[in-house]
Structure 1
């Protein structure tokens, strides 16, 4: 039974990682949206030289 318990634990951890990934993506979309609406944020972003081609921030993933 230890192998079954390990599989169940790993499946739960994988589910948590997927949920966190969705939350991070949602937060990133919100930040990018706010940056597009905020003049100061756009100015800082344009001056940083780090803006990606798709209009968002470069992903660390």
Structure 2
């Protein structure tokens, strides 16, 4: 169904602007968390070879 709108729900009804904003914020938040997790993993990989005693989990 062509409603003339750029962003619509699957049934062609209009999207509430808040839904789009919430989804965008959630995607940005997840992206930032993924970046932080990757950076933390890289730091662990860098530090482990220099550890003087075994790591305890």
The two structures have a TM-score, normalised by structure 2, of 0.60
CA RMSD between the two structures: 2.2
Any stretches of 5+ residues in structure 2 without a counterpart? Answer: 1-13
4+ runs deviating over 4 angstroms: none
Any stretches of 5+ residues in structure 1 without a counterpart? Answer: 45-61
Task: Please tell me whether Structure 1 or Structure 2 has the larger radius of gyration of its CA atoms.
Answer: 2
The two structures have a TM-score, normalised by structure 1, of 0.57
Quick one: distance in 2 between partners of 1:3 and 1:18? Answer: 23
